[in-house]
Structure 1
Amino acid sequence: MTTLYLNHLPVNLTRNVFLVLILSSTCIFSGCKKLRLFPEYVEKLPAMTTEGKDTFGCLIDGEIFLPRGTFPMTPGLRKNVNPVTLELQVNRGSKSLNINVSHITNSGEYDLTTNMNSAEYYDGAEQYIATSGKVMIKTRDFMKEVLAGTFSFVLTNLKTGKTISVTDGRFDMKYGQ
């Protein structure tokens, strides 16, 4: 049996390479979906829970803000939570959001611009202070040691006047640990 060669390759190998190229080109140019070994991770806000799951999330000017520290230097979430105090420091790279609510007496609404309550946001060296807004304590469970709720507020850079909106905020914290 004699083998036919084309450019020093067997003809049937050349034909197979040609077919693979044609099929690949057809798939690429016809809009086939890309095959991905690792599907893209899509961040989303945590569910609004009241079980002490130590979750936190919000939207800052419409973008999802979740704890993402630079371990081991900075944890993503630091908390000081007890039945009467909520202090959260949430870090994400060079950005940090701090929420403080003192003298929690019941479930209900707490204004962030009165008493010892406050919220601050740092974007690198830029500081923003809450000029309006509230934290709503939805669950204050002494038996399960849970403090959970929602928040929304407007932050203002006192130097530039630029404002940032924090919306759809939620937290579910366990205390006594």
Structure 2
Amino acid sequence: MKNKFLLLTWLLAVPLLWGGCDKPLFKPDRGSIAQPDELPPITTTGEGNFACKINGVNWQRCGGGFLQSSILGNWSPNYKIFQISGMRRSCEGFDDSVNITAYVDSAGIYELHHAFYIDRNLSCQNITNPYSLLENADNWVEILNLDTEEYIVSGTFQCTLFDPNCGDTIYITDGRFDYDWAN
């Protein structure tokens, strides 16, 4: 009887102690956090979109402020290199980034030169050594519009990335961007 009383006391006391903590004991399951139902449409007019699917789950930038919800990109006509990044999806428990780079000079399909994914919530993730392109995978970007007079670059992309620290592979598919690099 004494053991049952101690067990009952312990079972009642522990939840009361949890209520006094300033920080949550459990992080929400990221799979249960609301994701956009659909990716934005593929456009070519400088709409400011950057989105993709990561392992089949919609990824779209969100949040506010420069470092939290930016699209950063540029095109260097001298070197014919294009880079775009969906900087820091920082909302609802997410803190991650997607970046792609390719050598381009007009509309067409190009092999990705570089790509990475950083998830600042993963304990195995080293932000100085993020998920990077998996060699011999189908890694490409299709430039749909490269308008150097209106400063618009638009396209689609897909890639496969691997992180030796985390020991896993991620698949980025259905990528799309529409960026006005003058604004």
Same fold, TM exceeding 0.5? yes
Equivalent residue, structure 2, for 1:147: 153
* Superposed displacement of residue 104, structure 1: 1.9
Task: Read off the aligned partner of 1:76 and give its amino acid letter.
Answer: S
Matched-pair contact (CA < 8 Å) for 2:147–2:153: yes
Task: Read off the aligned partner of 1:109 and give its amino acid letter.
Answer: I
Matched-pair contact (CA < 8 Å) for 2:50–2:86: no
Q: Does 1:119 align with 2:119?
A: no
CA distance in 2, matches of 1:171, 1:158: 28
Matched-pair contact (CA < 8 Å) for 1:81–1:173: no
Identify unmatched segments of 5+ residues in structure 1.
1-39
Matched-pair contact (CA < 8 Å) for 1:61–1:166: yes
Q: Measured at CA, do residues 175 and 155 of structure 1 come closer, stay the same or move farther in structure 2, by a change above 3 Å?
A: same
Cα-to-partner distance string for 1:33-61 (whole Å, 9 max, x where unaligned): xxxxxxx9954201000011111110000
**3-state secondary structure, aligned to 1:47:** coil
Percent identical among aligned pairs is 29
Matched-pair contact (CA < 8 Å) for 2:67–2:87: no
Identify unmatched segments of 5+ residues in structure 2.
1-33
* Superposed displacement of residue 89, structure 1: 3.7
Structure-to-structure mapping, 1:58-73, within 5 angstroms = 58-69=52-63, 71-72=64-65
- How many residues are treated as equivalent by the alignment? 132
TM-score, reference length from structure 1: 0.66
Equivalent residue, structure 2, for 1:98: 99
Matched-pair contact (CA < 8 Å) for 1:89–1:99: no
Task: Read off the aligned partner of 1:130 and give its amino acid letter.
Answer: L
Which of residues 113, 130, 133 in structure 2 aligns to 1:130?
133
Cα-to-partner distance string for 1:57-79 (whole Å, 9 max, x where unaligned): 1000011100113x347321231
Q: Which moved more, 1:60-69 or 1:121-130?
A: 121-130
* Superposed displacement of residue 154, structure 1: 0.5
Cα-to-partner distance string for 1:130-151 (whole Å, 9 max, x where unaligned): 1131111111123332100000
**3-state secondary structure, aligned to 1:151:** strand
Q: Which moved more, 1:136-145 or 1:82-91?
A: 82-91
CA distance in 2, matches of 1:153, 1:110: 12
TM-score, reference length from structure 2: 0.64
Which aligned segments of 4 or more residues in structure 1 are displaced greater than 4 angstroms?
none
When the two chains are superposed, the root-mean-square deviation of aligned CA atoms in Å is 2.2
Matched-pair contact (CA < 8 Å) for 1:90–1:96: yes
Q: Measured at CA, do residues 80 and 73 of structure 1 come closer, stay the same or move farther in structure 2, by a change above 3 Å?
A: closer
